[in-house]
């Protein structure tokens, strides 16, 4: 008697259909000309890793220029590991979330010390490196090493939430658990890199947050949100974060076209970045510059905070502090928050530097 052949389950068949349709769609319509996609050889994992870290809180269109500038200065992982922290932060200036850059450098140094100067080709070992979580590690495994590891970013969550009708806030632990279960179930074994990039591109280009183009979606026939006409309800809206408003009193010293800046401490906002002297209250500002006069104020928004920057002009300078005098054009060589550029631009609109 011959042994009976095991029939694939309906879940297996659906999974195969789901992933293969996305692979085919990616081949025909996906993005293939992003700077980090042009990499090859031993530097490809480093370039993929760098792009994934940059993309965590930033849109692709903005990341392109930052990626190209970073790679032109530090083209290899070993060069990143050997770079001075201020150099790395200066290349990151404007991207925000500066701990991402600090962790990149720390992780690169560990790779040089423990992994022969390369990113390890193992999910758990990657996750042990500073700043690399499960999804970033999986993206490296998939896009750099072509291994079938599922990822989970905002675009993927949106596709899964709509297609499989997953209720709950996307970042809630119970919702994330469902997303990861679906991701595991729908692994792509044959072309994992195409599938991973295809899922992200599908969310970014077709299954968008607003006005999704369902007619162009390769999996629209099995999309539960489309079938029930509830696409706008998925994924569930995140609860609005109450932003804290903070007043910061800043001193602007300008002498012969140069601006006085100082290196901030490693505590508070913008740790270890260059900024003009700033204080939590006016009293402290007047202690170091009694002649200070209010020049203008502007609003600068961070993720969880709204900064009201009150800029004062003064000819007095605190001799007890070490300042650097720089021209605005030289600012790109020093790591600094975007707020400093806004202050300088506002000043330049009223004066000439």
The residues carrying an active-site annotation are 52
Burial bucket for residue 96 (CB in 10 Å: 0-12, 13-18, 19+): middle
- Which phi-psi region, left, alpha or beta, contains residue 276 (left: φ > 0; alpha: ψ -120 to 50)? beta
Dihedral Cα 25, 28, 33, 34, nearest 10 deg: -10
- Both tokens assigned to 294: 């209010």
Q: Cα–Cα distances in Å, from 77 out to 65, 81, 140, 145?
A: 19, 6, 14, 16
Burial class (CB in 10 A: 0-12, 13-18, 19+), 269: middle
- Tell me 334's DSSP state: S
């Amino acid at each position: 008697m011959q042994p009976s052949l095991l029939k694939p389950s309906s879940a297996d068949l659906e999974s195969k259909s789901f992933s293969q349709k996305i692979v085919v769609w990616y081949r025909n319509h996906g993005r293939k000309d992003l700077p980090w996609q042009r990499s090859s050889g031993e530097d490809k994992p480093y370039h993929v890793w760098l792009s994934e870290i940059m993309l965590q809180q930033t849109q692709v269109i903005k990341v392109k220029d930052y990626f190209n500038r970073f790679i032109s200065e530090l083209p290899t992982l070993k060069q990143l590991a050997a770079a001075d922290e201020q150099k790395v932060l200066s290349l990151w200036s404007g991207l925000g979330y500066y701990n991402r850059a600090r962790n990149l450098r720390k992780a690169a140094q560990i790779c040089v010390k423990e992994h022969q100067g390369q990113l390890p080709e193992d999910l758990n070992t990657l996750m042990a490196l500073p700043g690399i979580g499960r999804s970033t590690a999986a993206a490296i495994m998939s896009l750099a090493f072509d291994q079938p590891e599922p990822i989970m970013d905002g675009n993927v969550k949106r596709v899964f939430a709509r297609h499989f009708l997953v209720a709950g806030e996307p970042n809630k632990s119970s919702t994330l658990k469902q997303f990861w279960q679906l991701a595991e179930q729908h692994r792509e074994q044959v072309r994992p890199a195409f599938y991973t990039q295809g899922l992200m591109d599908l969310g970014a280009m077709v299954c968008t947050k607003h006005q999704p183009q369902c007619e162009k979606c390769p999996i629209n026939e099995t999309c539960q949100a489309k079938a029930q006409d509830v696409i706008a309800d998925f994924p569930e809206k995140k609860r609005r974060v109450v932003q804290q408003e903070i007043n910061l009193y800043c001193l602007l010293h300008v002498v012969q076209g140069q601006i006085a800046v100082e290196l901030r401490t490693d505590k508070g906002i913008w740790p270890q970045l260059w900024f003009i002297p700033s204080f939590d209250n006016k009293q402290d500002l007047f202690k170091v510059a009694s002649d200070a006069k209010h020049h203008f104020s502007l609003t600068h928004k961070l993720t969880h905070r709204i900064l009201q920057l009150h800029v004062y002009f003064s000819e007095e300078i605190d001799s007890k502090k070490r300042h650097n005098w720089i021209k605005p054009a030289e600012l790109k060589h020093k790591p600094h928050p975007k707020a400093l550029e806004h202050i300088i631009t506002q000043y330049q609109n009223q004066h000439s530097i």
